[in-house]
Amino acid sequence: MLPVDTESNAARARFSAINELLSREAGYSVAKKCLEVQAAAERRDPALRTETSVTLSDDAWSWYVGAIGERVVGEMLRALGPEWMVRHAVPIGSGTKDIDHLVIGPTGVYAINTKHHIGASIWIGDHVLRVNNANTPHIAAARRDADDVTVRLARHADFGVHVVPVLALVGQSTITDGRKGPRSHPAVVDSRRLVDWMLRQPASHSSTELELIRLAAEEPSTWHSDPTAAQTSRVMQRFDRLVGEVGAAPKPRRRIPEQRPGVGREESTVRTSSRPPARSAAPRRPRGPGKREIARRARRNETIMKMVVLAVAAMTAPAWLPGLIASFTSALTGAVLGE
């Protein structure tokens, strides 16, 4: 039996860990990485930060956009009722990776991976998701996240847990669904329709099972082994300051197209197609002249050489010869112009 002080300290530590897990805001992990990368860039290049402005480095840009995307989805998940449990940036293992959003509710358990692709064209295949016709690892990553959540929850709940992998897309212009197989592993959903989509799913667990799953999800030891993995260290306050300094729509310094982070565009549409978008054709090489053109040019050059020879002869010939040469020259000129 543990001494009273030891038990009390253990209880306080557990309560603190639970509270820290609850306090994690959407986008925490990527916001933290963005701040670290930006701070390192500013040390290398002090011109990034002046008294009046802050410029994001190239390396910090993608982390910034990712954090904005996760915060967009986090705001949308607020629309779920009190019967839903929502956790953000859930640390896994030693805290080096996380689940963007874990949602547990009447229709089931969802491991949501947010992807923010500003103005992009998305094509979804059975095994790959393309962004502007470039393959990404998004589908495999979403499946791995769901598998990890499944193992951890099942181990603590002591029964099989069905976790739905979800890719929530933010900021894209179009979505084309070319899948021929099941469309739920993972589900790929426009983030603006995410809440409605989850509410319409069939229930996968009983109410008793869901309660046990919630209890397992609240336990910090379910997710990570590092007792400090869930500490937020006021990261989001610092990130909010960065957003205020650079603006919600900062311009990247180099390489990044002229695009802005933010809520997905309203004109985004979902299309169905079994074919991936065609790759851009390589520019055609200019073609050389054909055989007929080569022959025509040879005849013209031969005629011009004859004209030159006759002109030289005219300058050295007797007086009666220039008239005859002029006649031949006129005929040859006509032949050249007539080709």
Determine the average pLDDT of the residues in 104-117: 97
Q: For position 254, what pLDDT does the model report?
A: 44
Which tokens is 99 given? 């689940």
Look at residues 111, 135, 320 and name the one whose alpha carbon lies nearest to residue 198. 111
pLDDT score of 189 more than 50: yes
Q: For position 118, what pLDDT does the model report?
A: 93
Q: For position 153, what pLDDT does the model report?
A: 96
User: What 8-state DSSP symbol labels residue 48?
Assistant: G
Determine the average pLDDT of the residues in 206-210: 95
Q: For position 69, what pLDDT does the model report?
A: 96
- Please state which of the ranges 10-19, 140-149, 196-205 shows the lowest mean pLDDT: 10-19
Q: Does residue 79 contact residue 251 with C-beta atoms inside 8 Å?
A: no
Q: Does residue 295 contact residue 277 with C-beta atoms inside 8 Å?
A: no
Determine the average pLDDT of the residues in 56-63: 93
Q: What is the value of pTM for the model shown?
A: 0.71
Look at residues 82, 142, 77 and name the one whose alpha carbon lies nearest to residue 111. 142
- By percentage, how much of the chain surpasses pLDDT 90? 53
Q: For position 255, what pLDDT does the model report?
A: 42
Q: Does residue 70 contact residue 27 with C-beta atoms inside 8 Å?
A: yes
| CA 35 centroid distance within chain | 20
With both helix axes pointing from N to C terminus, report the angle between 58-77 and 235-246 in degrees, rounded to the nearest 10. Answer: 110
Per-residue pLDDT reduced to its tens digit, 248-275: 555 555 443 333 333 333 445 566 655 5
- Please state which of the ranges 13-22, 290-299, 321-330 shows the lowest mean pLDDT: 321-330
pLDDT score of 150 more than 80: yes
The Cα 208–Cα 310 span in angstroms is 109
Q: For position 50, what pLDDT does the model report?
A: 87
Confidence of residue 23 (pLDDT cuts 50, 70, 90): confident
Residue scoring higher pLDDT (245 or 309):
245
